[in-house]
A = this chain, B = another copy of it.
């Protein structure tokens, strides 16, 4: 099935090269398709790495290994296989990953544990070792490619290539971040796993890079949802080559640490929103702002209950300002709330306050807002200072078509 480009797609941004990092692509032929499907990033010696991974306990070998590898804190290369997720493939799947790690490590003269591997695509089929070996051999000989080529090559069912960039001034030195991501929900037979990679020339100590990535993740990738389902392979890795030659960032006491943290958060947020914009069947991009919860965590959980509600997502698809469904979702979130303090609005206009519909509620501007592509839902819980923003898309016939009508 060829998918149309999402109506919410954004153009690929102008992305600068990152000193100390090179990208290459090749065709391993994991599926019967004519495109490149193996992406290789090579990093200078001493590159720091950090990662966040799916919480799905039935995760892939790539994720199991990656979780261990990031602890050592350094990376020399990344290989991303598209078309086969290698998940639920037992020891044979693990052997294929270890083969790739060994092959690249031999080429670079590094430890296999410095070679990271991700795979995305059909599950239950061990990654074919012969195709992986030939693909890796080819990619090591390939010329450098653009970030856009790399973003396209890690994609599976994405309808557009996704990238983001930012800069920060760190102790007088400008550092640059370039990042790519793929994912659009989870689409069978390819699970449209979210795989994201952030590369920067900044010098950052691995432990601090991990702290910053984990913090950014909590307010970006952990605040998006397409269909509430969780891939077995979701991975976001950050690589810092250090080639900008700033004084290495080791903590928030390091000059420029705040600026770098903000830039990292910025690219994570850009990437996360791009995934929502490619949500399966998405016609509308939905921002859910929750305020007045008892804590930020509570606000995030309420926001996700709203963003995951099929009834709210279908109401948005139907351009229906159905605040009753929002009440329902708040009530089922399992978080402190009080029906009679609850306020709900759309597009900046309150429809209900303190548990009752507003007498002078004017639905006309709300109806106009709901006809647009960018929908804002505001919920005030009325109990405290906790707040969070969550992003999702609507639930449409397109989602059913992609997931039910498409047969493996």
Q: Which residues of A contact B (CB under 8 A)?
A: 55-59, 87-90, 122-125, 186, 188-189, 191, 227-232, 308-311, 314-315, 317-320, 322-325, 327-332, 337, 339-340, 342, 352, 354-357, 394-397, 399-401, 403-408
Contacts and interface: CB of A to CB of B under 8 A. Distances in A.
Nearest to A355: B90
Given A188-B325, A314-B399, A58 B331 contact: yes
B310 A403 contact: yes
Contacts of A332: 55-56, 229-230
A407 to B, nearest CB: 6
Contacts of A403: 310-311, 314-315, 318
Given A87-B324, A331-B57, A405 B318 contact: yes
B342 A58 contact: yes
Given A230-B328, A331-B58, A406 B188 contact: no
B404 A88 contact: no
B318 A56 contact: no
Contacts of A394: 404
B327 A58 contact: yes
Nearest to A398: B400
Contacts of A229: 309-311, 325, 328-329, 332
Contact of A356 (B89, B330, B401): B89
Contacts of A124: 323-324, 352, 356-357
Interface centre among A55, A122, A227, A403 (most CB of B within 10 A): A403
Contacts of A90: 340, 354-356
A297 to B, nearest CB: 16
Nearest to A310: B227
A88 B397 CA distance: 30
A232 B88 contact: no
Nearest to A340: B90
A232 B355 CA distance: 13
A188 B403 CA distance: 24
Nearest to A408: B320
Contacts of A58: 327-328, 330-331, 337, 339, 342
Contacts of A329: 229
B400 A188 contact: no
A400 B314 contact: yes
A330 B58 CA distance: 7
Contact of A322 (B188, B325, B339): B188
Given A88-B339, A327-B88, A331-B58, A188 B231 contact: no
A228 B325 CA distance: 13
Contacts of A87: 324, 327
Nearest to A125: B357
A292 to B, nearest CB: 14
A189 B363 CA distance: 15
Contacts of A309: 228-229
Given A328-B191, A328-B231, A331-B59, A356 B323 contact: no
B188 A311 contact: yes
Contact of A311 (B186, B318, B396): B186
A371 to B, nearest CB: 12
Given A88-B355, A404-B395, A232 B317 contact: no
Nearest to A397: B400
